[in-house]
Amino acid sequence: MSQKNRIEGGQINRDVPLNFTFDGRRYTGHAGDTLASALLANGVRLMGRSFKYHRPRGPMTAGSEEPNALVQLRSGALQEPNTRATTAELFDGLSATSQNRLGTLSFDLLAVNDRLSNFLTAGFYYKTFMWPKAFWEKLYEPVIRRAAGLGSLSLEDDPDVYDKGFLHCDLLVIGAGPAGLMAALTAARSGADVILADEDFAMGGRLNSETLSVGEVSGADWAAGTVAELAAMPNVRLMPRTTVIGAFDHGIYGAVERVGDHLAVPQAGKPRQILWRIYTKKTVLAAGAIERPIAFANNDRPGVMTASALRSYANRFGVAVDRRAVIFVNNDDGYRSAEDLHAKGIRVTVVDPRPDVSVLKDYEVLSGAQVIDTMGRLGLTFVKVRLADGSERTIECGALGTSGGWNPNVHLTCHQRGRPRWDDRLAAFVPADLPTGMHVAGAAAGDLSTAGALAGGQRAAQDALALDGSMPPLPEAEDAPVNIMPFWYVKGGERAWLDQQNDVTVKDVRLSHQEGFRSVEHLKRYTTLGMATDQGKTANMGGLAIMAELAGKAIPEVGTTIFRPPYTPVAIGALAGRHRGAEFHPKRLTPSHAWAEEQGAVFVEAGNWMRAQYFPRTGEQSWLETVNREVLATRNSVGVCDVTTLGKVDVQGADAADFLNMIYCNGFAKLAVGKVRYGLMLREDGIAFDDGTAARLAEDHFVVTTTTANALPVYRHMEFVRQCLVPDMDVQLISTTEAWAQYAVAGPNARRVLEQIVDQGISNETFPFMACGNVTICGGLRARLFRISFSGELAYEIAVPTAYGDALMRRIMEAGAAFDITPYGTEALGVMRIEKGHATGNELNGTTTAANLGMGRMVSTKKDSIGAVLSRREGLNTPDDLRAVGVKPVDPTQRVPAGAHLMAAEGPVDATQDQGYLTSACYSPNLGHHIALAFLKDGASRIGETMRVVSPLTDEVVDVEICSPHFIDPEGERLRA
Amino acid sequence: MIIDHPLLGPRDSSEFTYLGDARLIDRPDPDGGDAAAAFYQYAYLRDNPAGWHRELWFHEAGDRSWLVVTRNTLTHEISKVELASDVARAQGRSK
Amino acid sequence: MRYSGFRVIKEALTGHKGWKPAWRDPEPASYYDIVIVGGGGHGLATAHYLAKEFGQARVAVIEKGWIGGGNVGRNTTIVRSNYLLDGNEPFYEFSLKLWEGLEQDLNYNAMVSQRGILNLIHSDGQRDAFIRRGNAMILNGADADLMTTEAIKKKYPFLNTDDARFPIKGGLAQHRGGTVRHDAVAWGYARSADSRGVDIIQNCEVTGFRIENGVCKGVETSRGFIGAGKVGCAVAGSSGRLLSLANMRLPIESHVLQAFVSEGLKPVLPGVITFGAGHFYCSQSDKGGLVFGGDIDGYNSYAQRGNLPVVEDVCEGAMAIFPMLGRARLLRMWGGVMDMSMDGSPIIDRTHIDGLYFNGGWCYGGFKATPASGFAFAHLLARDEPHPTATAYRLDRFEKGYMIDEKGVGNQPNLH
């Protein structure tokens, strides 16, 4: 079958034939075709099935507002459901399949739903399927779910690449029809930076679908000439195939450019689509208008479409949907379709319900007549017309165009919740309440003539950019007035479709009204009108008008449904861009990362950081064996761990000590130079925020450390206090987390290792526990040394500028070789801190107080500090407050699971018996059994008690003894050694 | 949204982190009469206006300034952007 | 009028002439024993339970616009009771139990669908926290299930377990969780309350409270004064605005939360999945749309719309764990106003004004709470004492230091 409905003319390139398949059948089209136009050229009108009744459907439009002709484009992992055939650009090798059918497209078993339509009216499901109770999940819902939905996802990872970009301009022009082109030209000639975006692959808008002339040339030629002029200007960026999807705050627009969708495979190195964020000073919206249909019985058969779509297929694509067409109009514009089709040799009859229209045309006009029904199982074959005298006539035809008037495309004007205004002259809503900086021109503003569009485009650009002076004269163009009689639906035909995709008919709107769902929001939600993939672009007005009629109100009194972004649906892949899979978030690598990789380390995510979790050695059977080795080696000799990820804040200035006094709940004013102190920060609500150390390197210089997780929030908080609460303090802050590589060297031999590296003496006398200072290492490299310990061993943290981090780790390993120095990861670090009872994020979980943590006395009452006042509230100081305790199993072979709850040794197990919970747990290789940290009600006075930890989730109950959280070296002798 | 930073000019709001009502600058005197009540109101109660709102934004991915932004919570329009430290000083905060 | 399969068939055969309005459209009376301000899910549920469980007949629900037009009509329809803290878990479990019997209680099919909810775990610390939570759920009589990565992979083979930036290390499932057809909840409660004599008064805006000597006597409205023995406010995102009419400042900020729906797709996702290392959660409606969301935009807003950065953030989360979603299309985005409280938990309490009661601060979790919130508020209004599952939701808990802070982020509403 070779394009039997292809006629002369159009903008397709007949020299470029393109082969494609639909449901496995091979067809040929041309460059410049859409999938829909090519199928229509081949005599295929049936392209889909409706959502609920599975009615046969063909294209209703020739644009992105299409509700019916949805197909699955491509196959395999590239399968793209719900693709509009009316906008899918044809390429050689394109393959598409129909969707939402059980069986074949022409024999869909689910079409039985149509026979049951009397039972499946709006909202029927709210009234039934309730008995027996259990059957909803077991029977009804699975059946409904299986039938629901439209196209299918492939269930495979999307293999395409998406990108994001940012653009800036003086004027964004949305839509490249006559108004948009004129606006862009006017702005560009003034020297402004202009972006012109249009969703179509061919710029020109309706001019490409009309036979009108602009000036001396055809509209399409004028558009092509104007586009060429714009393309030659350096201050203009033309963006065809680009849909502006949303108008966001402060002149930011989202736009999706389909870079590779019209190609069999995207070009090498190019993405499939790009999401642009366009920052513009001003905008001209020239998005045109959308023709709306008229509802009548069986107005949804393939072959029934808007009159302007018939005209587009004939004029732009050289396709006669059928050689015999009926046009059903309530306005003069519909006659253009009749004229253009007639001129192409198509036999046309116009049906016009207006009583006194001129019948003196070259084609038949039936004045005062209405289309009352159609016939044709899989496509239109006959139209039934009721004539002015009440008699009926049947016309055999395969194409029926309806023209119920034009709706200005106000979509983007509503994205910031602006409401459009009703215009009686057009019988349509027009833009009213615009986003800041937006101007509207052309049909989108209600100027439906070409001359009006050209003038409006020029004026909008002038207004937007405040251009002075006279403008060049505009080319001559058609300037027909709008002449319309509002006419929404043919009475008597209740199965008349309003929302064709969701199968919402006039009858459903009537039922909605009858049952009290009368506001536009109720109508929409009860009937699903306007909730299909076209979001009601062709359906909402009809539904609204009928509801207004039923309610005896004017249309604007019933309301408008609000248009929300995006203008047309957007691939989720495009909105994600490259942030997917492993690239979801950037990876932060520590200075020793390359070295740790060489050691075979296993890494773990810590926020965005990748930290070495443990360093397995050949022959080790499990991670636990590795971790036990690392812990024992550190406690028995020496280990090294990268602690660079801890947050670091440099605090400098004459008031630095006073500032820290404000930030920490414990005192810092009297900390001596060369000393480190543990500090606990509270939030202003009195809850523990973060802990760490502050080292005083000079009278006016401290280095503060934070936990890895809170590096950013703590820094932000410190800046808040500095700038907002104590703006005159002489203190400056800077985050130096990434400026310094920092390693913990821990264990009885730590000093012996570092003595080989640090140029200065670090004996226990010259550099005791909690000492700190600027030192040099390896013969002169500046470094900072802190005698602090998280592991509980004799330990140091040594910091060097990050660039030397890798070298320092290698030097430490070299110096430590004699002591069999062992690198340890976050697991061993965790075990050692639990053995010492040190808190981390599991304990500082944002709900615990200093008192809960056993540090209540640290909250100084002698000074003001953040959180001190509110930490004294009643609820944070009850007699049975939680206290940090240690937990060990009575039977040392048993595990104690973190996340378990503490209950009395005997008695019932339920929430009312809850005494506390385990925050952290591990196996202690030093003690030879599991240990845990916990919060227990009144825990401080319950040391020695036997209790149960229960974890019904993991099915564990363990008898435990409550003990001190300091399992190892409670007196701290090792640290001071 | 775009925030017109007083030092750096217009910047995308995604460079900033939001905190909330600019009254958080007015931290009560901990030694004042009813400090507990004053701190409760300061930390927890909000005017939460539908309309103009003075609020704190932190230029986290920028120069680390805290800003007081006057923004309309109904329209998101921004009428004024100030350095929070200037606002704090003007309100009498010092050390 | 009772709905039944028989009735649907009968009406289908007789041209649907017999269906009556789902609720009346009465003129306001001059006095009611109890006036509920706010015809959203919580207000309508309160009215239903007041009439059905507490024998209160002279009740009105006053709604500024159309019932169900607020957050009950613009959420992601998820119901669950997977909370950690004692103040919350019994309440949400009570709510889930009410959901389980909702259709029969209301004679309205709100499509309560317990297809399960799964929170993915991505780190050891997260696992510890989820185990504690799962245990709290079970100890409070709810269900919880710790799923292994293998079990998750088997159930959801399309999840990214190969090259995820934050690998899936298990998940906490609540199989009784699921989704409910959100609009139908409002309509079902409204229809039931109406049938029990409650007046539902739409297009009636409250413009003030009449307070005499510290006692609330009724509300001034756009349709005149309406006297009331008690006034209960359940207006979600409008809490700040409404209560300012009574000169109250609340521990609440209003924020915008966006949500999203895709085009209709054949079923791929049976239950609800929540990504634990980014801002993304997703379910699939019975119509086939993927309903998903993420974090609030993060700034005070009454605009009912958000901005692109959050849209992108959510879709990035989607593509991090569901790389098959790349070619699914986002159809619609919308925003609702959330009354974010200072500890992320709600308030159901008397105010310092006699006769004026407040229900709010639901953050972005109010939908799942609808039945229990209505029940507990009805209990408080009818009996002047809190429902046993809602005793912690006091207005003075911030002053006294009894916060219910599930996330542990303190008095900064946009972090909850």
Summarize pLDDT for C127-167 with one digit per residue, the tens. Answer: 999 999 999 999 999 999 999 999 999 999 999 988 899 99
The encoded tokens of residue A390 equal 């009440």
Look at domain A1-152 and name its CATH class: alpha beta
Q: Using the 8-state DSSP alphabet, how is residue A911 labeled?
A: G
CATH fold of A878-977: Elongation Factor Tu (Ef-tu); domain 3 (2.40.30)
Q: Is the pLDDT of residue A960 over 80?
A: yes
Chain C contact present for A354, CB below 8 A: no
Q: Measuring CA to CA, which residue among A44, A937, A954, A936 is closest to residue A965? A: A936
Q: What is the pLDDT of residue B33?
A: 87
A252, A277 contact by CB (below 8 A): yes
Instruction: Look at B18 and C299 and tell me if their CB atoms are within 8 Å.
Output: yes
For A875, nearest residue in chain C (alpha carbons): C401
Chain C contact present for A953, CB below 8 A: yes
Q: Which residues contact C363 (CB under 8 A, 6 or more apart)?
A: C338, C339, C340, C341, C344, C345, C346, C413, C416
Instruction: Look at B44 and C251 and tell me if their CB atoms are within 8 Å.
Output: yes
Instruction: Look at A248 and C307 and tell me if their CB atoms are within 8 Å.
Output: yes
Q: Is the pLDDT of residue C118 over 90?
A: yes
Instruction: Give the minimum alpha-carbon distance from C256 to chain B in angstroms, rounded to a whole number.
Output: 10
Among the four given CATH numbers 3.20.20.370, 3.30.9.10, 3.30.310.50, 3.20.20.80, the one describing domain C117-178+253-341: 3.30.9.10
Pick from C181, C184, C320: CB nearest A580? C320
Chain A residues within an 8 Å CB radius of C291: none
Summarize pLDDT for C302-339 with one digit per residue, the tens. Answer: 999 999 999 999 999 999 999 999 999 999 999 999 99
Q: What is the pLDDT of residue A397?
A: 97
**Test mutation, C239, C300, C339, chain B, max B CBs within 10 A:** C300
Instruction: Look at C128 and A580 and tell me if their CB atoms are within 8 Å.
Output: no
Q: Is the pLDDT of residue A891 over 70?
A: yes
Summarize pLDDT for B23-71 with one digit per residue, the tens. Answer: 999 999 999 989 999 999 999 999 999 999 999 999 999 999 999 999 9
User: How far is it, in rounded angstroms, from Cα C98 to Cα C303?
Assistant: 33
φ, ψ dihedrals at A520, nearest 5°: -60, -35
User: How far is it, in rounded angstroms, from Cα A174 to Cα A240?
Assistant: 10
The chain B residues in contact with chain A (CB within 8 A) are: 1-2, 12, 17, 19, 24-25, 27-28, 30-31, 35-36, 39-40, 42-43, 56, 58, 60, 64-66, 75-78, 83-85, 87-89, 93-95
Instruction: Look at A137 and C115 and tell me if their CB atoms are within 8 Å.
Output: yes
Could you tell me the CATH superfamily of domain A307-403?
Answer: FAD/NAD(P)-binding domain (3.50.50.60)
**Test mutation, A279, A650, A660, A724, chain B, max B CBs within 10 A:** A724
Chain B residues within an 8 Å CB radius of A253: none
C65, C43 contact by CB (below 8 A): no
Instruction: Look at B73 and C301 and tell me if their CB atoms are within 8 Å.
Output: yes
Instruction: Give the minimum alpha-carbon distance from A846 to chain C in angstroms, rounded to a whole number.
Output: 4
User: How far is it, in rounded angstroms, from Cα A403 to Cα A426?
Assistant: 13
Chain C residues within an 8 Å CB radius of A951: 131, 135
**Test mutation, C299, C313, C314, C358, chain B, max B CBs within 10 A:** C299
**Given CA atoms A320, A324, A326, A327 in this order, what sign does their dihedral have?**
positive
Share of chain C above pLDDT 70, in %: 100
For A72-94, what is the mean pLDDT? Answer: 97
Instruction: Look at C328 and A577 and tell me if their CB atoms are within 8 Å.
Output: no
Instruction: Give the minimum alpha-carbon distance from C413 to chain B in angstroms, rounded to a whole number.
Output: 8
Distances A138 to A126, A131, A277 between C-alpha atoms, Å:
17, 12, 46
- Interaxial angle between packed helices C366-383 and C182-195, expressed in degrees from 0 to 180 and rounded to the nearest 10: 20
Mean pLDDT of all residues in chain A?
96
Distances A477 to A206, A443, A474, A681, C352 between C-alpha atoms, Å:
13, 14, 9, 73, 71
Q: What is the pLDDT of residue C96?
A: 98
* Surface of A (412-451) touching B: CB under 8 A: 416, 436
Tell me what ipTM this predicted complex has.
0.99
Domain ranges in chain C are 25-81+84-107+182-250+343-415, 117-178+253-341
Q: Is the pLDDT of residue C91 over 60?
A: yes
Chain B residues within an 8 Å CB radius of A279: 2, 12
What is the band of A470 on the pLDDT scale with cuts at 50, 70, 90?
confident
In 10 A of CB C354, how many CB atoms? 14
Chain C residues within an 8 Å CB radius of B1: 307
For A225-236, what is the mean pLDDT? Answer: 98
Instruction: Look at A575 and C411 and tell me if their CB atoms are within 8 Å.
Output: no
Among the four given CATH numbers 3.50.50.60, 3.30.1280.10, 2.60.120.470, 2.40.160.40, the one describing domain C25-81+84-107+182-250+343-415: 3.50.50.60
Q: Is the pLDDT of residue A1 over 70?
A: no
Q: Which comes out higher in pLDDT, residue C216 or A131?
A: C216
Which SS3 state, helix, strand or coil, does residue C265 take? strand
Chain C contact present for A416, CB below 8 A: yes
Domain ranges in chain B are 2-90
Instruction: Look at B37 and C399 and tell me if their CB atoms are within 8 Å.
Output: yes
Chain A residues within an 8 Å CB radius of B17: 716
For C134, nearest residue in chain A (alpha carbons): A953
Chain C residues within an 8 Å CB radius of B53: 300
Q: Measuring CA to CA, which residue among A558, A553, A548, A549 is closest to residue A520? A: A558
For A750-764, what is the mean pLDDT? Answer: 97
List the CATH code of the domain at A160-290+404-481+561-581: 3.50.50.60
The encoded tokens of residue A902 equal 């503490």
Chain B contact present for A875, CB below 8 A: no
**Test mutation, B19, B48, B58, chain C, max C CBs within 10 A:** B48
Q: How many helices (H) and strands (E) does chain B have?
A: 2, 6
Pick from C109, C268, C331: CB nearest A155? C268
Pick from B14, B21, B74: CB nearest C302? B74
Chain C residues within an 8 Å CB radius of A917: 132, 135
Q: What is the pLDDT of residue C17?
A: 92
φ, ψ dihedrals at C167, nearest 5°: -60, 150
Q: What is the pLDDT of residue A137?
A: 85
Pick from B12, B42, B93: CB nearest A727? B93
Pick from A131, A514, A951: CB nearest C131? A951
Pick from C135, C163, C332: CB nearest A581? C163
Instruction: Give the minimum alpha-carbon distance from A694 to chain B in angstroms, rounded to a whole number.
Output: 21
Q: What are the DSSP E strand ranges found in A236-318?
A: 236-239, 242-248, 252-258, 273-285, 289-291, 304-306
User: How far is it, in rounded angstroms, from Cα A346 to Cα A765?
Assistant: 105
For A319-339, what is the mean pLDDT? Answer: 97
Chain B residues within an 8 Å CB radius of C240: 46-50
For A848-873, what is the mean pLDDT? Answer: 96
**Test mutation, A723, A726, A728, chain B, max B CBs within 10 A:** A723
| Residues B2-90, CATH architecture | 2-Layer Sandwich (3.30)
Helix or strand run (H / E) with residue C42 = helix C41-52
What is the band of C1 on the pLDDT scale with cuts at 50, 70, 90?
confident
For C85, nearest residue in chain A (alpha carbons): A911
What is the band of A559 on the pLDDT scale with cuts at 50, 70, 90?
confident
Q: What is the pLDDT of residue A721?
A: 98
- Give one DSSP letter per residue of A584-614, joined into a string: SSPPEE-TTHHHHHHTT-EEEEETTEEEEEE
Q: How many helices (H) and strands (E) does chain C have?
A: 11, 18
Chain B residues within an 8 Å CB radius of A872: 36
Q: What is the pTM of this model?
A: 0.96
In 10 A of CB A478, how many CB atoms? 15
Instruction: Give the minimum alpha-carbon distance from A214 to chain C in angstroms, rounded to a whole number.
Output: 37
φ, ψ dihedrals at A451, nearest 5°: -65, -40
**Test mutation, C327, C397, C400, chain A, max A CBs within 10 A:** C327
What is the band of A560 on the pLDDT scale with cuts at 50, 70, 90?
confident
- Contacts of A among chains (3+ CB pairs under 8 A): B, C
Q: What is the pLDDT of residue A132?
A: 86
Q: What is the pLDDT of residue C57?
A: 85
Chain A residues within an 8 Å CB radius of C72: none
Summarize pLDDT for A765-789 with one digit per residue, the tens. Answer: 999 999 999 999 999 999 999 999 9
Chain C contact present for A164, CB below 8 A: yes
Q: What is the pLDDT of residue B78?
A: 98
User: How far is it, in rounded angstroms, from Cα A339 to Cα A360?
Assistant: 12
Pick from C241, C253, C303: CB nearest B46? C253
Q: What is the pLDDT of residue A146?
A: 87
